[in-house]
């Protein structure tokens, strides 16, 4: 098999090359020493309404994570109404249910984000927003 400068096979499909490189570069893949994680749970988040088209991105990422890495993927669509309370509940329940010993928990957010400039410098909060205009108008911080 022919290899490129990074030692990756040129004969493999791009998705296999990505998977192999990702696994190789994932230093946190091990719990400690040589013990692998026994499970990986992923929570993917995106807005019900958004101006970025994140649903398509999340579907592609779901496919890669499930088909190539065999991760357990869960998706939560952030609703427009009561978004902060429902998102906090979803994340809390996900972490409580899936953060077990030898388990890697990943939370991935697709959407707009902006730091809240009105908080103390070392305690800045992230504002998550469905639309860029909401992030710029500094609505209620998450």
Q: Is 141:129 a contact under the CB 8 Å cutoff?
A: no
Q: How far apart are CA 123 and CA 127, in angstroms?
A: 13
Q: Where are the beta strands (DSSP E) in 29-140?
A: 30-32, 35-36, 39-47, 72-78, 103-110, 112-115, 126-129
Distance spanning both ends of the chain, measured CA to CA: 49
Residues 78-114, buried b or exposed e (16+ Cβ, 10 A)? beeeebeeebeebeeebeeebeeeeebbebbbbbbee
Q: Considering the entire predicted model, what is its pTM? A: 0.68
Q: Is 103:38 a contact under the CB 8 Å cutoff?
A: yes
Q: Is 76:54 a contact under the CB 8 Å cutoff?
A: no
Q: Going residue by residue through the chain, which has 142 residues, state the pLDDT in tens, using 9 for 90 and above.
A: 444 544 444 555 666 666 666 666 554 555 555 567 788 999 999 999 888 889 999 999 999 999 988 899 999 999 999 999 999 999 999 999 998 888 889 999 999 887 776 656 666 677 777 777 544 444 454 4
C-alpha angle 141/87/68, rounded to 5°? Answer: 120
């Amino acid at each position: 098999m022919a290899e490129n400068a990074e030692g990756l096979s040129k004969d493999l499909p791009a998705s296999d090359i990505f998977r192999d490189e990702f696994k190789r570069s994932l230093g946190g893949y091990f719990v400690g020493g040589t013990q692998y994680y026994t499970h990986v749970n992923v929570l993917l988040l995106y807005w019900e309404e958004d101006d970025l088209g994140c649903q398509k991105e999340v579907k592609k990422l779901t496919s890669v994570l499930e088909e190539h890495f065999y991760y357990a993927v869960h998706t939560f669509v952030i609703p427009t109404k009561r978004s902060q309370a429902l998102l906090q509940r979803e994340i809390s329940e996900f972490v409580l249910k899936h953060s077990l010993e030898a388990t890697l928990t990943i939370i991935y957010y697709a959407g707009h984000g902006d730091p809240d400039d009105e908080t103390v410098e070392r305690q800045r909060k992230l504002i998550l927003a469905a639309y860029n205009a909401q992030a710029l108008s500094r609505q209620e911080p998450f």
